């Protein structure tokens, strides 16, 4: 068994490193990784990103958004959140289960004087409150299990960043299930830092697997991980465009009138859009506006640019470019 203490705090790089270890380091049958991210929302592979985040809050606070390769719901990470990954291909016909892979965390917390329990399908709780969510991916008998441990995470930011949009969105994506959460730190008899907690979890793993040794990437491997980050996990196409197609209905009011928007979005680009409301304009035929938005990415920046290329006030008199953009997308 090998272990990797990943010193990077970049979410897209760290998710790329995980996938690299899972898919490329096949000659290692067990791998243990510890890592900490800058503020980020990590959405599940099968989720519709814009259904899971508060886009205005995320943008305002510089929170990263990255899609992982495992299923499940969206989670919030920050520098006081510890993530762990266990990769294994030693199943010998035994079903992989979440509890087995969560046991090192339960045991480490017990050593620190805290009783954590595994509950539901994939959660760890202390006194009934969730302190860790877990997810897994499988490839031909090989499993990657990871969990995000809320150690001293800013829960107020977590709540706001994961606040669901008020728009009516219809899609077949996996929806996040919100839980009552808590941090580990307030439950510890003796207070320690997140880095000290990371050290204790690693020490527990070393005691359980005395043959475990540290793995250091070669320069060539680090270059491959960076290429994976740049070509996949750092791209809009993966983090947003991979989302399943969905329909969205929005209604906003401004001084010049009310605008209702009905849009079909696929690969996070508009395929069809219609406008209704109490707005006025010199031209009642909205075809030109609707056509100008077809194929445009469903982002404020892309829609703002597309609208700026047409005389939108012919249809939406009195509206500013910013207001019309906000009527369509946050």
pLDDT digits (tens, 9 = 90+) for 24-83: 999 999 999 999 999 999 998 888 888 889 988 999 999 999 999 998 889 999 999 999
Asked if 232 and 100 sit in the same domain, the reply is yes
> Do 175 and 300 fall into the same domain?
no
CATH code, domain carrying 68: 3.30.930.10
Whether residue 200 is predicted with pLDDT greater than 90 in this model: the reply is yes
Q: Report pLDDT digits (tens) over 279-319.
A: 877 777 888 999 999 999 999 999 999 999 999 988 888 89
Residues 262, 281, single domain; the answer is yes
Last residue of a domain, one of 241, 264, 288: 241
Q: Which of 194, 223, 241 is the last residue of a domain?
A: 241
Range of the domain at 262: 246-328
The domain boundary residue, chosen from 173, 206, 241: 241
Same domain, 124 and 144: yes
Torsion, CA 126, CA 129, CA 130, CA 131, rounded to 10: -50
- Asked if residue 171 has pLDDT above 70, the reply is no
Residues 157 and 275 occupy one common structural domain: no
| Residues whose CB is less than 8 angstroms from the CB of residue 225 and which lie 6 or more positions away in sequence, other chains included | 13, 16, 17, 20, 217
Mean pLDDT along residues 131-154: 90
CB 270 within 8 A of CB 296: yes
* Contact indicator for 239, 233 with CB cutoff of 8 Å: yes
Q: Are residues 169 and 285 in the same domain?
A: no
Per-range mean pLDDT, top range of 94-98, 100-104, 203-207, 240-244: 203-207
Whether residues 163 and 266 fall in one domain: no
Q: How many domains does the chain have?
A: 2
Confidence category of residue 179, pLDDT binned at 50, 70, 90: low
Check residue 1 and give its pLDDT.
92
Mean pLDDT value across residues 226-230: 97
- Strands (DSSP E) contained in the chain are 2-5, 30-35, 40-43, 64-67, 75-77, 81-88, 117-119, 123-126, 129-139, 142-150, 168-171, 213-214, 246-254, 257-266, 269-277
How confident is residue 93, by pLDDT bands cut at 50, 70 and 90?
Answer: very low
Residue 268 pLDDT level (bands cut at 50, 70, 90): confident
Judge if 147 and 253 occupy the same domain.
Answer: no
62 and 37 housed in the same domain: yes
Kindly indicate the confidence band of residue 241, based on its pLDDT and cuts at 50, 70 and 90. confident
Regarding whether 204 and 300 lie in a shared domain, the answer is no
Q: Tell me the CATH number at 251.
A: 3.30.390.50
Residues 123 and 12 in one domain: yes
Q: Quote the percentage of the chain above a pLDDT of 70.
A: 92
| Residue 105 and residue 87 share a domain | yes
């Amino acid at each position: 068994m090998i272990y990797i203490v990943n010193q990077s705090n970049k979410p897209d790089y760290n998710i790329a490193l995980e996938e690299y270890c899972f898919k490329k380091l096949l000659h290692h049958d067990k791998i243990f990784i510890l890592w900490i991210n800058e503020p980020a929302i990590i959405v599940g592979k099968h989720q519709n990103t814009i259904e899971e985040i508060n886009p205005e809050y995320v943008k305002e606070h510089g929170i990263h958004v990255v899609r992982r390769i495992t299923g499940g719901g969206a989670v919030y990470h920050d520098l006081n959140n510890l993530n762990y990954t266990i990769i294994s291909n030693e199943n010998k016909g035994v079903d992989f289960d979440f509890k087995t892979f969560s046991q090192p965390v339960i045991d480490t917390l017990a050593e620190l004087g805290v009783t954590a329990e595994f509950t539901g399908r994939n959660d760890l709780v202390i006194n009934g409150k969730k302190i860790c969510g877990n997810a897994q991916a499988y490839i031909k008998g090989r499993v990657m299990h990871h969990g995000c441990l809320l150690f001293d995470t800013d829960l107020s930011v977590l709540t706001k960043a994961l606040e669901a949009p008020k728009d009516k969105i219809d899609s077949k994506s996996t929806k996040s299930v919100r839980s009552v959460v808590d941090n580990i730190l307030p439950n510890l008899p003796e207070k320690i830092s997140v880095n000290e907690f990371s050290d204790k979890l690693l020490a527990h793993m070393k005691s359980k697997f005395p043959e475990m040794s540290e793995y250091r990437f070669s320069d060539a491997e680090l270059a491959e991980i960076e290429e994976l980050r740049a070509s996949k996990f750092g791209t809009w196409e993966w983090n947003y465009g991979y989302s399943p197609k969905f329909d969205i209905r929005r209604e906003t009011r401004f001084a010049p009138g009310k605008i209702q928007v009905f849009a079909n979005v696929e690969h996070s680009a508009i395929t069809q859009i219609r406008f209704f409301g109490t707005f006025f304009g010199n031209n009642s035929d909205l075809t030109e506006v609707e056509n100008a938005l077809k194929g445009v990415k469903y982002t404020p920046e892309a829609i703002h640019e597309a609208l700026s290329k047409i005389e939108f006030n012919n249809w939406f008199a009195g509206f500013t470019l910013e207001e019309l953009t906000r009527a369509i997308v946050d």
